[in-house]
Each structure stands twice: as C-alpha cells, then as structure tokens.
Amino acid sequence: MSERISGRIVTPDGVVEGALHLDGDRIGSVEPGPAADRWVLPGFVDIHNHGGGGFTFTTGDAAQARQAAAFHLRHGTTTMLASLVSSPFELMRDAVLAYAPLVAEGVLAGVHFEGPYLSHARCGAQNPAFLRDPSLDELTEILKLADGALRMVTIAPERAGAMDAIRLLVEHGTVAAVGHTDGSYAEVMAAVEAGATVGTHLFNGMRPVHHREPGPIVALLDSPTVVCELVADGVHLHDGTLAYVAHSAGTARSALITDAMTAAGMPDGEYDLGGLTVTVADRVARLAGGSIAGSTLTMDAAVRQALGAGLSITDVAAMAATTPARAIGLADDLGALRPGLRADLVELDAEVRVVRVMKSGEWI
C-alpha cells in the first residue's frame, strides 16, 4: 500500500486539506479529507547556492560539495545547483569534472558559474583578480567536459564577447543569466534577446534604477521570458522590494534563492569565499570593505521571510520550488505537488519549521 502524507498540501492550484498519496518515487494523488496540523510543500529548489554547514561548492572539492548539499537537504532543499564564484579556468574545469558524478547521482542538479565574466564595477564579493571577458574557448571546453552538468552561467552583458557567449550557452541547453552588471537597459535587453532567461539576485550587484536610464533591474523585471532570483533574507532585499517583485513580475517569474555560503548554519566568525575573507556577524556575511558576501540563508528561512513579507503560501511555494525548477529546465520532473512529478516534499509545522524532508519518495 502506498504511503499517505496528511496535512495542508500546497499545490499549484491552492491548498488542499487532506492527504498526498505516493506511487513509488512519484506523487500519485492529492485528495481532500481529514488533515494533520502540518504544511506540506514541494521540496525546495535552490538555483544559486555556494555552500553551507561549514562546507563549500566554490573549491571544486566533491566531498565538500556532498556535505554542503546534505546540509541544505536537511533544510528542505531537495534540488540545488552548486554555484562557484569567479575563478581561474583550471578551477572551473576541475569543478565540472569533480561535480559531474554528483549530478549523475542526483546529489546536485548541476553546476552554476557565477562569473568570472562579470563587471568590475559591480563585482560585490567576487574576487576582482579573476574577472575577465567571456571566452568562447573556455566555455566550449567546459561545456564538452560537463556533458550536461553545467546548468547555468552568470554573465555581465556589457563585457566584450558577452552576446556570443550567451548564444553559445543557450545552443548547448545551458541557462544564461545576467548579473553583477553595470550594463545599460539596452545592453541587458540585448542579452535577453540573445537568450538570457535568469536575472542573478535581482537588485544586488547591479546598477540601480534611474528613471532616465532604467538599467538592468527594469530590463529584467519587464522581460516576460526572464526569471528573477531574489535573496529573501531581509538583508539583501527589503521585504517591500521582495513583495513588489512577486506582485509586478508575478510568482511564475520570481525565484527565491539562498546565495548561501559556507557560513550558513554556522556560528559567526571568519570564512573564505573564492579566496576572499568574509566576516559573519549576526548572520550577515560581509567583506572587509562592507560588501554583502553571499548569505547565511537556508530555503526554509527564505520561505518564512517571504511569508512574513505578506505573500501567500501558494505563491511562496511557487517561488521556492515551481518557478526555479522551470528556470533550469526541470519542471516536467519536479517542483510542484501534482500527480506524476517526483515525490520531493517538505513537511513543516504550524510555525513553518521543517519537520521532515522527502526526496524521490524516501524520507531523509
């Protein structure tokens, strides 16, 4: 007999009080009926994550990556990309080779390169020593080595060669994202026209909005094909900004991310991010110069933050799972509680704290 999970089941069509029935590692049905005092949400999908629990994705170390993924899985993230920061080509190549087996195993959903093809003016916590123009030779070699494991690359569209790089990525089925950019509205719109479909942590690491030069933020918000990443930690974005994007772009184009680094779930102190020293104080990670350096967020905390910003649980479930799954091409397999999709789910108590997590029909 298939397992029955009782509670307030958050489906794409709304909340169903009743039970979710499994069919092997898939969702069989969702049926109304008596319900436990629990929320049941789709497993979270984090498409921008540098590490956590004292472990990092940024060094290309497979053992570290496995531990970082396990840490976030305990917080409800059943699907995640391993995000690297700007690095020398050799590290990019080694990381893809080291993480490809973890992708094949299902520990990771793929690799995300946040850099090195980013703007010096908007580099944030990226190491400026490694920033450079997009290289088709580098990308061609990495795409070949990755054999499908490279899911996303963030590029500043004003850099020389950016449009060709975006087109190359898209031709190979890899998501091109726009971020860490000082580009103009026109340059970012050209990147979208070339095939870019994600805005990397919207507002952060971007030229601010001006009514006479709208810049990247307005271009990305106003592009129907673009999913906008949002770091919902109350530090990167004001809750009003978070709610504004969800209302204006819609939840189908708004994805919650952690942008977490090693220090997520760890005590305050000093940590490394791509060769730069990061100080964490009262959960906030910063470089010595004051730039925010990733976050100490987990997806369950991002969900609580978004609910606190006044968004509905149905909208938040879409932003934490359904939309990011679609952004990286996985919506046909996971990201929502509907029959036929993979049985990835998070059970939460009345305070929206994780009770237990299921991945592929198995409680972890």
Going by the annotation, the residues of the binding site are: 114, 125, 180, 201, 204-205, 212, 236, 292-294
The two tokens of residue 44 are 């979270």
How far is the CA of 80 from the CAs of 15, 133, 179, 229, 299, in angstroms? 25, 27, 19, 14, 11
Rg (CA), the chain: 19
Contacts by residues 288-293 (CB-CB < 8 Å, ≥ 24 positions apart): 291/124, 291/125, 292/124, 292/125, 292/204, 292/235, 292/236, 293/124, 293/125, 293/261
Residue with tokens 């944030």: 124
Residue 259 appears among annotated catalytic residues? yes
* Rounded Cα–Cα distance for residues 20 and 312 (Å): 21
What residue numbers does the annotated binding site for Zn(2+) cover?
114, 180, 201
The two tokens of residue 190 are 């050209």
What residue numbers does the annotated binding site for substrate cover?
125, 204-205, 212, 236, 292-294
CB 86 within 8 A of CB 125: no
Q: Is the dihedral of CA 164, 324, 202, 277 positive or negative?
A: negative
Contacts of residue 290, defined as CB under 8 A and 6 or more positions apart, other chains included, come to none
* Rounded Cα–Cα distance for residues 69 and 260 (Å): 11
Q: Which helix (H) or strand (E) holds 167?
A: helix 162-171
Write phi, then psi, for 311 (nearest 5 degrees): -80, 150
* Residue 86, Cβ density class (10 Å: 0-12 exposed, 13-18 middle, ≥19 buried): buried
Indicate which residue of 259, 300, 315, 344 is catalytic. Answer: 259
* Rounded Cα–Cα distance for residues 15 and 341 (Å): 17
Query: Which residues are annotated as catalytic?
Result: 259
